[in-house]
Amino acid sequence: MSDTRFAPDRGLTTRMVGTMFFIGLLYVVFVGVLVALLRGAWPIVLVLAGGLFVAQFWFSDRIAAFSMGAKEVTPEQAPELHGAVDRLCALADMPKPRVAIADSDVPNAFATGRNRKNALVCATTGLLRRLEPEELEGVLAHELSHVAHRDVAVMTIASFLGVLAGIITRVGLWGGLRRVGGRDSNTAILVVLIPLISAVVYAISFLLTRLLSRYRELSADRAAALLTGRPSALASALTKVTGQMARIPTRDLRQAEPFNAFYFAPAFSKDSLSRLLSSHPTLEQRLDQLGRISAQLGRA
């Protein structure tokens, strides 16, 4: 963080290192258990695990951006959005990421990229239509802090490992059962044991990424407020975006829910159970922190 003007956060760095270590260890143990259980299919498991991990590392940002409907725009196509990003990058002394817009009425923004050189910041049409310029800059500063802190790359990789566990389980189990012929007594044990192990791996990785995600959102709010010097503008954007979510059709909210970990504010449908394990701290926690920062800046 020494090469940008975003406020450093040692707590975030420590949590990112810890999350990646434990998830990486979990992943290695998981693959090792599968290799031990599916002896006849161990080449399939190893090749699949290695290939998918490399593919995720190199293409995670493109996959995420495509899945969320991001389309890169030029300064001529979106002059106000580019202008805001230009001002913030100059203020933060960081390279300008690619800029994109997602055609969605859900008011939100997100950032992707495995590093600063190929990062992308995206705002939805719903967000651009609803926010004032100062509010938009607060949201964009929040997203740019994710890029500067590199936590967006950590979250992308960490989130994928749980999904990868399920893929490897299905393919490895299929290959292993075919080799044993599906007739010996061990087959019945494998059918029960391997999905159970996969579920445990997914649950642990899910909880680890949720704990990191909540902290990183508070860290991004803090960094954005300190960089812009306008915590009240970010608080206003948070309040407005959260309030507007209730007016979005349930179908659109359900489509956005799988990507909540990447969004500026979570999108929940009315009957969603995701609120119980949200990727974000509550609105009250975020506003309370911004209020304290505003008071500190006022005293300074």
Q: What is the DSSP string of 212-265?
A: HHHHHHHHHHHHHHHHHS-HHHHHHHHHHHHHHHTTS-HHHHHHHGGGGGGBSS
Which pLDDT score, from 0 to 100, does residue 125 have? 96
The answer on whether 217 is annotated among ligand-binding residues is yes
Which pLDDT score, from 0 to 100, does residue 167 have? 61
Angle between helices 185-228 and 10-37 (to 10 degrees): 170
Question: Do the beta carbons of residue 107 and residue 132 sit within 8 Å?
Answer: no
Which pLDDT score, from 0 to 100, does residue 85 have? 98
Model pLDDT for residues 132-156, shown as the tens digit of each residue:
999 999 999 999 999 999 998 888 7
Which pLDDT score, from 0 to 100, does residue 73 have? 97
Question: Do the beta carbons of residue 119 and residue 152 sit within 8 Å?
Answer: yes
Question: Does the pLDDT at position 177 exceed 80?
Answer: no
Model confidence band, residue 96 (pLDDT cutoffs 50, 70, 90): very high
Average pLDDT over residues 257-266: 87
Which pLDDT score, from 0 to 100, does residue 166 have? 59
Model pLDDT for residues 110-129, shown as the tens digit of each residue:
998 877 888 899 999 999 99
Model confidence band, residue 269 (pLDDT cutoffs 50, 70, 90): low
Question: Do the beta carbons of residue 157 and residue 57 sit within 8 Å?
Answer: yes
pTM of the shown model: 0.84
Per the listing, tokens 């500026």 go with 264
Which pLDDT score, from 0 to 100, does residue 186 have? 61
Tokens of 80: 């106000």
Question: Does the pLDDT at position 247 exceed 80?
Answer: yes
Find the range with the poorest average confidence among 2-16, 35-49, 95-109, 274-288. 35-49
Average pLDDT over residues 98-104: 95
Average pLDDT of the chain is 83
Q: Which one, of 276, 272, 265, lies nearest residue 250 by Cα?
A: 272
Run of H or E including 22: helix 10-37
Per the listing, tokens 């507007």 go with 244
The answer on whether 146 is annotated among ligand-binding residues is yes
Model confidence band, residue 1 (pLDDT cutoffs 50, 70, 90): very low
The answer on whether 142 is annotated among ligand-binding residues is yes
Tell me which of 222 and 170 has the higher pLDDT.
222
Per the listing, tokens 């607060």 go with 138
Find the range with the poorest average confidence among 22-31, 41-50, 79-88, 284-293. 41-50
Average pLDDT over residues 199-207: 78
Give me the active site residues, please.
143
Highest mean pLDDT among 42-56, 70-84, 167-181, 260-274: 70-84
CB atoms within 10 A of CB 215: 19
Measured at the alpha carbon of residue 71, what is the angle toward residues 165 and 254, in degrees to the nearest 5? 55
What DSSP string runs through 100-153? EEE--SS--EEEE-SSGGG-EEEEEHHHHHH--HHHHHHHHHHHHHHHHHTHHH
Model pLDDT for residues 59-83, shown as the tens digit of each residue:
766 777 888 889 999 999 999 999 9
Average pLDDT over residues 253-269: 84
